[in-house]
Amino acid sequence: MNHAQIHNKMQWDGGSPHLTYIYHSGFAIETTRCLILIDYWEDTINNVQGWVHSKFLTSPKVRYILSSHAHHDHFNPQILRWKREHPDIQYIFSKDILNAGLVQADDAIFLQKGESFQDENILIQAFGSTDIGISFVLETEERKIFHAGDFNNWHWDEESTEEEIRLAETSFLRKLKILAKAYPTFDLVLFPVDPRLGRNYSKGASQFIDTIKTKTFIPMHFGKDYAAANVFKKEAEKRGCRFMEIRERGDSITF
């Protein structure tokens, strides 16, 4: 595979799959046949303007919307309003969103860990998380993509007890081992690099790429702290990963 080509608000040439950073943990992936929107919270400008409203919702391609869990920064109920004008959109949600009473049973296809959805365009598999909900593996057009949702080594060195840190790490590494057995390599990984965790905020990301061969790594779940997320570039490149340095909403990459 060719090295990823990183752009800044450039138009896709219609060739290799293309990813656009929306905001926080939200991304859109475009292939020759379909568009996939994952963990939408806000559009690239606001909740009524931006890439999603101008590109995703106006595209003639087959469209999928995925949400990994019920947290407000990963699931925005606004997305269900779009089906009024776009009834062909396929919604695929973690089942905890249904269990939380945020949606109706006929609003989406609901997945739990170990379940999957497949059609002629895409395979979506649900893996575990270290928070609520699931993480996603996507296979489309010979690419394997991982979106972590809230799967991470979540602990706060400055606040957590040694026992809490040990339990968090044990849980993360156990689930990571399960994922690595099924997928020892990914073409693209979208994974939290959240500076709110404190001094070891990128530890989970390092453990991930040490365990699973990752061709292209893209940070997420960092809010507006682009600088902190992009610090991980050196660590990723040391491990042989191509790193997408995000500078603003709407940045994009062909992979």
CATH code of the domain containing 186: 3.60.15.10
Q: Are 53 and 43 in contact (CB under 8 A)?
A: yes
Say yes or no to pLDDT of 9 above 60: no
Q: What is the pLDDT of residue 200?
A: 85
Confidence of residue 234 (pLDDT cuts 50, 70, 90): very high
Give just the sign of the alpha carbon dihedral 51, 56, 58, 60: positive
Interatomic CA distance for residues 225 and 219, integer angstroms: 11
Q: What is the pLDDT of residue 122?
A: 98
User: Which residue did the predictor score with more confidence, 73 or 157?
Assistant: 73
Residue 3 token pair: 């090295």
Task: Collect all residues with Cβ–Cβ distance below 8 Å to 142 and sequence separation of at least 6.
Answer: none
Determine the straight-line distance between the first and last CA of the chain, rounded to whole angstroms: 8
Say yes or no to pLDDT of 11 above 80: no
Q: What is the pLDDT of residue 14?
A: 58
Q: How many domains does the chain have?
A: 1
Amino acid identity for residue 223 in this structure = G
Interatomic CA distance for residues 64 and 92, integer angstroms: 7
Say yes or no to pLDDT of 8 above 50: no
Interatomic CA distance for residues 5 and 244, integer angstroms: 9
For the residues 97-113, what does the mean pLDDT come to?
98
Confidence of residue 47 (pLDDT cuts 50, 70, 90): confident
Supply the range of the domain harboring residue 56: 5-254
Query: Cβ-count burial of 86 within 10 angstroms (0-12 exposed, 13-18 middle, 19+ buried)?
Result: middle
Confidence of residue 1 (pLDDT cuts 50, 70, 90): very low
Interatomic CA distance for residues 126 and 106, integer angstroms: 19
Q: What is the pLDDT of residue 142?
A: 94
Interatomic CA distance for residues 128 and 2, integer angstroms: 30
